[in-house]
Structure 1
Amino acid sequence: MGKSRIESLVEDYLNYRIDQLPIAFDEGKDSIEQFKLHTIKRLKVAFNLFSDHGCGLNNFLIALRDYLLTFQTDICLDKIKIPEDNLFAISRDPQSERYFAAFCFPDYINHAFVEYSYLNAECSEKHSIKDYALHTDPAIRKITGFSFFKSMDQKLAVYGALNTPDGFTTLVSLPTGGGKSLITQTLSYQKDGLTVVIVPTVSLAIDQVRVAKQIIKSSNIDSEIFSYSSGVDAAPILRAIKQKAARMLFISPESLINNQGFSDVIKEANATRYLKNIVIDEAHIVVDWGASFRIDYQCLESWRKKMLLSNPSIRTILLSATYERHCVSILKDFFAHDGKWIEIRCDSLRHEPHYMLVKAKSYTDKNRKMLELVRKMPHPMIIYVARPDDASDIKNLLNENGISNVKTFTGLTTGPKRKELIDAWVDDQFEIMIATSAFGVGVDKSDVRTVLHMYIPQNPNAYYQELGRGGRDKLPCLSIMCIHPDDINISFQRISKKVMTTEKIIGRWNSMYNSKSSQRVGNLNYIDTTIKPNYSVADTFDDTPTSDADMNWNIYVILLLRRYGLICIREVLPQSGKYIFVIEIIEDALRVNDNRLFQEIDQIRVTEWAYYVDAFHSMQHAIKNSGKVCWSEMFYETYDKVSEYCAGCNAHSNVNEGDFLEFPLKVPVKMPMKELAQDQLALFGGASDIIFIATESQEAQLVNFLMEKRLAVLVISTDKNIEHYLDSITCLKNLLILNGCSLRELIKRKSHYYISGVVAVSYSGTPKEIYDQLIYITNNLSKQPGIKVVHILRENTFFEWINKAFSDLVDGSVIPIKSVCPYA
């Protein structure tokens, strides 16, 4: 449907000429069209509410302004009179009698950034002058139908996970929008068995199942892929797991640990080694949220260890877009078992946000600016605040100014209400969400155009996670922080409440350890986390119900002691809303309340405090130097594996593309190498290489034979050498396909994790090109431990300038193609 036809229908609808708006809102051909259609949907919702007296004119004007500026159009409204002095810069042309919207942005805002976000020109993608082979393999083609990966980042992430040996943990970073879901999909169908995918929100679980069922090519899809959340009938899921039909289960850590039905059936699946993979999506949450209001995330450590006792071959995959060094250290401590740890780092900074810092003169001026930003900036919009009380205050202020279709989402929002809000938010039923940090991760709304921070987050990582809710459709968005002079001190005071004093940590520990409710069995201590401390001061736990404060702080103390190695958590036992931690004491000082205990606790408290303060100072430094130093510098410093990137900020308007030419793999992945089996070694007869002379038609059969011998890598000279026969290969195993460019980049980074085992090289081109490739392969792969090379070429090429043939330069014999492929 063309633009003019759409605009005509919208005008008819708003003038009551038609009862329905015959537009398919979810059928945009790309992100830009999808956003525009949803802009109309939000206008329709606002108009209906206004018509039904569900909310006032201002809510409608916000949606109308977005529509007029996004479509760069005007409109005739016969039934609605818009005041001339409205605050939304919507005016009426006296000649045409049509309404139009002017940009009319505040002078403290970068106008170009906002116009760019309204016009929705596609964000600049990271292109490279290097041409990498993005082919998938026969197994992935069979499972998903995909012939190519979206990017080299995705290809490295997928094979990084698929190559994970039994019993290993692989941490994978892949940028937002990079296609992480393909990792869980291919991993789940790589082997027969169950993959448990731990996700943070119901909406993410539901969306992952929806996407997986669209992509996975299986006739039994409905009995293989499931998600569970409160209110879902568990019986079919439990039955599928018991019958060993289920392949993927998306579930929250709370349901995994607290739901007895799932706890029992997964233990049973694990005992029979039907459980193959544990995937933790948005794995940074284990650290960021697991130490406070989502403590079941840090309980996953002990849960996984119990699974490994009877099933040591389980593979664990940790997924996220970016990791800070502190986070990786904790995840490695939690999930690395006997050093079985791999990192696939394709970290990169977001390309979509344009950053702006707005400084208000006072609290009153801050509220005035906030109202102006809500009226004039593009929507949907998230307004982030520090506390539930702040969310209520802003909502009341917006209501007082006629903006009422606004919702709040905080740590005090109950479970059923959370689902209701998320569903309505994703469905465009309102376009302004006021939230604390409890909202965001895993919420699948891709078209948020503005993220407005009305407070200073405690560190750049927390800030980046929140602003990252914007622009997930890969289109431009705005990240605006609006603060007044006192906000620095207010934010620092909140930081001081994040780390308990030494005396309080000791008080809570001793109260739990010495309580009659905390039993001791041998060297194990069953710690009841509902015990009140032996001091009288009432502690509050920010952004959570007051009634849970004591339990949350007690759990904070236990997890703090675990992070610093003073205790070991053997098991977590949920019991009617409370948690019993089964722990083993590592540091004997915890047994006696004396000066040694004070010194031990004070030392870790000082370390913990220093981390929070240093991180906060990064935020403070960015604010102080805004306009002089690039705003994204703090992210570049926080995430040590990313390269510089900033779409624009107070310091510069031009894009800083520091990652433009970089290979996406940021750190070497040297180990583990694939182990060569006897049948593979027998093929080479003691040599490091072998040669096959094969015609084009024979090559497909040869590669099929080699895949039966677990061929790990196929190196191609050009795409023409492979595309014509990949689909004809019948051995459906995973195979990493590389061209010369991607092979050289991996070798340069000493990443033989990707290129070990049996490696086949298919040659083509002039004798000089074949010679150069052979010398490179010989120098870098042949005779390397853990690598055997198969050379495939059309003829035994003769190199006149050295008077030698190809076979003269290879440590291995020429094997007749008929000896391995009789029908070739």
Structure 2
Amino acid sequence: MDKLKLNAAVELYINNNTNELTLDFELHQGAKERFILHSAKRLKNSYDLFKLNLCGLNDVLISLRDYLLTLQVQIHIDTLDIPEENDFGLVKDLQTGKYFASYQFPKYVNHSFAEKAFLSEEFSTQVDFRGHNLHTDPLIVKITGFHQFKSIAQKLAVYGALNTPNGYTTLVSLPTGGGKSLITQTLAYQKEGLTIVIVPTVSLAIDQVRVAKGIIKSSRIDDEVFSYNSGVDPKPILKAIRNKTAKMLFISPEALINNTEFVDVIKEANSKRYLKNIVIDEAHIVIDWGASFRIDYQCLESWRKKLLLSNPNIRTILLSATFEQRCISILKDFFSSDGKKWIEIRCDSLRHEPRYMLVKSKSYSDKKRKMLDLVRKMPHPMIIYVARPDDAGEIAEYLHLNDIKNVKTFTGLTTGTRRKELIDAWVDDQFDIMVATSAFGVGVDKSDVRTVLHTYIPQNPNAYYQELGRGGRDRLPCLSIMCIYPDDLSIAFGRISKKVMTTEKIVGRWNSMYNSDCSPRKGKLNYIDTSIRPIYSSIDAFDDTPTSDADMNWNIYVLLFLRRFGLIKIHEVIPQSTKYIFVIEISEDALRMNDDHQTEVIDSFRSIELKYYQESFQTMQTAIKRSESYCWSEMFYETYDKVSEYCAGCNSHNAPNESDFVDFPLKIPVDYPFMELAQDQMALFSSTREIIIIPSEKERSVLLNELSRLRISAFISSNENNIDVWMNGMEAISNFIVLNAKDLRELVKKKSYYFFSGLIAVKYSGSTKDIYDLLKFVQSNLSTHSEIKVVHIIDENIYFDWINKAFVDLVNGPVIPVRALI
């Protein structure tokens, strides 16, 4: 990118010497180049608003500071009255008459971290090769054109999903930016049928379709890949599903559950077994959001179960970057049958982009002053997270009083229409400061957030991590700053009591619903009306949801509480106008009687729930108190038990802790289920478990295509250089994982036979010792399994002189000709 040329164009625009500023994003695919262009766009937008008196001068100066520090340029400006003494580090060079920006960071800020987040210096990120084989297979090449995966973690995640047997649920964790979208793309085109991808936001659905259409190699892509939201005409989508041309539909749970047209067409497609896969993106939201303001996420459990009754072969894929163990336990309970038909592909990894800072203030007024200074001096775009809607309004007003006016708020009280307007404007760089509660963030497609500023203490490290994770999704450095004062700890602890309803109120709400005339019983099923007011008189309210919905939300909280602990089963959730009817079955008889025993049972489980919140908050509290001597990321190691250590920097250390770079990304064994061998595969082996093929050069292409036709599950090669030759000759019939000897050993060490059971082919090449070592490893670890059949492929019958035996002498199986496969 020619920064000087870009700066000259910006300079002309800011000085009103041209009416247009053309920023060509399409030509610049690098993340840093895109960020530079967006910085110019944000400066242009703030200047335009300032001319219309729609924002303050300080809004423009913030954008100007970001722009100058990121590009490291100077600019001539005549149209802005920039004070000589200003709070933005803007300085006029008296010789050139041009402005430049100096950092002028506050003393309490880590200057090195902040400079990196402005992206003003060159930096490099480690590339995940480490001797791993990153080849795709011919079918993935045919679908996407990709010959290489981004990382071994992405490769394992993709094949973990693709290998999912019919009727199973696979939970896949893959770091943000690691390429989760390739999972849905390959899954949808792996076989004929419809894949429904449930996404949290409209913007994410739109972006996923855009990405898919740019990657998938199909001449009929516009008739195959769709996203739906309230602003989209559903007719073409419904028609494509009925005509069985639709392959992938991105949709929110609300539209999926409440839109009768989609309810009907999906039910019809499912009855014909055209529905093949259900993918839930950002699956942790089912737990985190479904318990409060995204109730339809809680409908997915019963919705899926109903579909499985007539189509038990549906595969379910749950995707996220990291999973807390409690979240996994609940998801497993929701989306598996008594823990059966459940697979976990765990490539959990902590974010590499955030640099952490804890800024401590002496008082609330000191905290506000520091917060204002951080807004002025830290890189943008910036999200300021608060606990409650009232706090968001207060901070926005405080910034407004300081002439920072182009600030928006987004909370649980923000209406649906306004939410879409805000997200669209945020993504379009129309403003760059968002003050928000936890209601904002997940799935919002803005990758270049440079600073996430917490002005409160979240209830636990998981909630905190999800919010700070909005920064640096373009995989470039960003800042996570927590600015607090002493009372924030006690205030945060006080919110824990609101998070867990008292036993008395749980009992009161349950009995109010269960015994109401509005909740009829039909056999063993109870139709619970969630709009029923409780029998007690006190008022309950969520911090971040409309007061009008409080009773329904708390009632649903009670039902989900009972469901989590196995006291009830939820068979169906029926949306009805402004309320929900939960069709439940009581599993614990104590719920039927409003007596002391019922109270004791509920109190015992409520104590478990409260203990979880108290202990997880204690983890945050400890991190805050020990921030100068212990790594900030330790709280995440405790929360996400499968991640390796990583921290780009925090109050206790400047140098990155990169321990996770040396670890194999698969965190837990995946030894189940094995792929089933079909009759045509078994026929090759008779009573043996291995065979040898010694093809001539002319027979190689025939052998490759026959192996593809026989649906091998893995192709293992000891020589990386030969893989491309072999892959180019294979037909794209089914998926199989390509491994080198190192990858094979790592997976065997992890006891993860899930990736290479069934029929596998091993191509031997290299030195005589390399061939011998790989052969003995394969025989010791693969050929001994009854669920694995091995095809040994070698160019000639190598002789091992140190044991006076040839290759064929060591294999307990025959040498067969290539024509025997045909």
1:127 positional shift: 4.1
AA at the equivalent of 2:529? D
Contact 1:26 1:37 (8 Å CA) reproduced: no
1:119 positional shift: 2.8
Q: Secondary structure at the match of 2:682?
A: helix
Q: Secondary structure at the match of 1:660?
A: helix
Q: Secondary structure at the match of 1:684?
A: coil
1:773 positional shift: 1.4
How big is each residue's C-alpha offset from its partner over 1:212-235, in whole Å with a ceiling of 9 and x where there is no partner? Answer: 111111111111111111121111
AA at the equivalent of 1:48? D
Contact 2:128 2:151 (8 Å CA) reproduced: no
Deviates more, 1:730-739 or 1:455-464: 730-739
Contact 1:120 1:475 (8 Å CA) reproduced: no
Contact 2:194 2:247 (8 Å CA) reproduced: yes
Quick one: distance in 1 between partners of 2:768 and 2:816?
Answer: 21
- Name the counterpart of 2:333: 333
Quick one: distance in 1 between partners of 2:248 and 2:128?
Answer: 35
Quick one: distance in 2 between partners of 1:128 and 1:286?
Answer: 31
1:544 positional shift: 0.4
1:65 aligns with 2:71: no
- Aligned pairs for 1:299-448 (under 5 A) are 299-338=299-338, 339-448=340-449
Quick one: distance in 1 between partners of 2:803 and 2:94?
Answer: 86
Query: Does the C-alpha gap of structure 1 residues 25 and 817 become closer, same or farther in structure 2, counting only changes over 3 Å?
Result: closer
Quick one: distance in 2 between partners of 1:17 and 1:730?
Answer: 59
How big is each residue's C-alpha offset from its partner over 1:285-332, in whole Å with a ceiling of 9 and x where there is no partner? Answer: 011111111121121111111111111111000000000111111011
- Name the counterpart of 2:21: 21
- Name the counterpart of 1:461: 462
How big is each residue's C-alpha offset from its partner over 1:687-723, in whole Å with a ceiling of 9 and x where there is no partner? Answer: 1100000134422321210221111100012232221
Quick one: distance in 2 between partners of 1:35 and 1:11?
Answer: 18
AA at the equivalent of 1:435? A
1:670 aligns with 2:671: yes
AA at the equivalent of 2:48? N
How big is each residue's C-alpha offset from its partner over 1:148-180, in whole Å with a ceiling of 9 and x where there is no partner? Answer: 111100000000000000110000000000000
Q: Secondary structure at the match of 2:29?
A: coil
Q: Secondary structure at the match of 2:107?
A: coil
- Name the counterpart of 2:131: 131
- Name the counterpart of 2:687: 686
Gap regions ≥5 residues in structure 1: none
Q: Secondary structure at the match of 1:616?
A: helix
Quick one: distance in 1 between partners of 2:437 and 2:26?
Answer: 29
Percent of residue pairs identical: 66
Contact 2:590 2:597 (8 Å CA) reproduced: yes
1:266 positional shift: 0.7
Quick one: distance in 1 between partners of 2:623 and 2:218?
Answer: 51
Contact 1:276 1:314 (8 Å CA) reproduced: yes
Quick one: distance in 2 between partners of 1:196 and 1:468?
Answer: 26
- Name the counterpart of 2:101: 101
Quick one: distance in 2 between partners of 1:540 and 1:820?
Answer: 69
Query: Does the C-alpha gap of structure 1 residues 182 and 697 become closer, same or farther in structure 2, counting only changes over 3 Å?
Result: farther
Q: Secondary structure at the match of 1:683?
A: coil
- Name the counterpart of 2:481: 480
- Name the counterpart of 1:222: 222
Deviates more, 1:231-240 or 1:423-432: 231-240
- Name the counterpart of 1:750: 751
Contact 1:714 1:735 (8 Å CA) reproduced: yes
Q: Secondary structure at the match of 1:448?
A: coil
Query: Does the C-alpha gap of structure 1 residues 326 and 126 become closer, same or farther in structure 2, counting only changes over 3 Å?
Result: farther
1:638 aligns with 2:639: yes
- Aligned pairs for 1:411-560 (under 5 A) are 411-560=412-561
Query: Does the C-alpha gap of structure 1 residues 123 and 502 become closer, same or farther in structure 2, counting only changes over 3 Å?
Result: farther
- Name the counterpart of 1:145: 145
1:206 aligns with 2:206: yes
Gap regions ≥5 residues in structure 2: none
Quick one: distance in 2 between partners of 1:152 and 1:774?
Answer: 23
Query: Does the C-alpha gap of structure 1 residues 499 and 178 become closer, same or farther in structure 2, counting only changes over 3 Å?
Result: same
Contact 2:684 2:821 (8 Å CA) reproduced: no
Quick one: distance in 2 between partners of 1:617 and 1:79?
Answer: 53
How big is each residue's C-alpha offset from its partner over 1:167-199, in whole Å with a ceiling of 9 and x where there is no partner? Answer: 100000000000000000000111111111110
Query: Does the C-alpha gap of structure 1 residues 433 and 215 become closer, same or farther in structure 2, counting only changes over 3 Å?
Result: same
Contact 2:689 2:786 (8 Å CA) reproduced: no
Quick one: distance in 1 between partners of 2:751 and 2:406?
Answer: 55
Contact 1:120 1:476 (8 Å CA) reproduced: no
Quick one: distance in 2 between partners of 1:188 and 1:337?
Answer: 24
1:78 positional shift: 2.1
**Count of aligned residue pairs for this structure pair:** 821
Quick one: distance in 2 between partners of 1:663 and 1:212?
Answer: 29
AA at the equivalent of 2:192? D
AA at the equivalent of 2:349? S
Quick one: distance in 2 between partners of 1:145 and 1:695?
Answer: 29
Query: Does the C-alpha gap of structure 1 residues 573 and 49 become closer, same or farther in structure 2, counting only changes over 3 Å?
Result: same
Contact 1:128 1:661 (8 Å CA) reproduced: no
- Name the counterpart of 1:264: 264
Quick one: distance in 1 between partners of 2:696 and 2:578?
Answer: 68
- Provide the aligned C-alpha RMSD in A: 1.2
AA at the equivalent of 2:391? D
Contact 1:13 1:19 (8 Å CA) reproduced: yes
Contact 1:349 1:642 (8 Å CA) reproduced: yes
* TM-score under structure 1 length normalisation: 0.98
- Name the counterpart of 2:192: 192
Quick one: distance in 2 between partners of 1:90 and 1:771?
Answer: 68
Quick one: distance in 2 between partners of 1:312 and 1:236?
Answer: 28
- Name the counterpart of 2:249: 249
Contact 2:451 2:479 (8 Å CA) reproduced: yes
AA at the equivalent of 1:422? I
1:814 positional shift: 0.3
Query: Does the C-alpha gap of structure 1 residues 599 and 24 become closer, same or farther in structure 2, counting only changes over 3 Å?
Result: same
AA at the equivalent of 1:619? M
Quick one: distance in 2 between partners of 1:10 and 1:697?
Answer: 62
Q: Secondary structure at the match of 2:61?
A: helix
AA at the equivalent of 1:135? H
Contact 2:718 2:771 (8 Å CA) reproduced: no
Query: Does the C-alpha gap of structure 1 residues 753 and 793 become closer, same or farther in structure 2, counting only changes over 3 Å?
Result: same
Contact 1:123 1:352 (8 Å CA) reproduced: no
1:76 positional shift: 1.2
* TM-score under structure 2 length normalisation: 0.99
Contact 1:689 1:788 (8 Å CA) reproduced: yes
Query: Does the C-alpha gap of structure 1 residues 607 and 120 become closer, same or farther in structure 2, counting only changes over 3 Å?
Result: farther
Contact 2:129 2:151 (8 Å CA) reproduced: no
- Name the counterpart of 2:608: 607
Quick one: distance in 2 between partners of 1:294 and 1:802?
Answer: 67
Quick one: distance in 1 between partners of 2:29 and 2:665?
Answer: 28
How big is each residue's C-alpha offset from its partner over 1:617-658, in whole Å with a ceiling of 9 and x where there is no partner? Answer: 111111111111100100011000001100000001010111
Quick one: distance in 1 between partners of 2:79 and 2:188?
Answer: 56
1:594 aligns with 2:603: no
Quick one: distance in 2 between partners of 1:142 and 1:781?
Answer: 30
Quick one: distance in 1 between partners of 2:158 and 2:10?
Answer: 44
AA at the equivalent of 2:307? M
AA at the equivalent of 1:373? L
Quick one: distance in 1 between partners of 2:121 and 2:642?
Answer: 29
1:742 positional shift: 0.5
Quick one: distance in 1 between partners of 2:802 and 2:489?
Answer: 72
Q: Secondary structure at the match of 1:497?
A: helix
1:706 aligns with 2:707: yes
Quick one: distance in 2 between partners of 1:179 and 1:241?
Answer: 27
Quick one: distance in 1 between partners of 2:560 and 2:666?
Answer: 33
- Name the counterpart of 1:782: 783
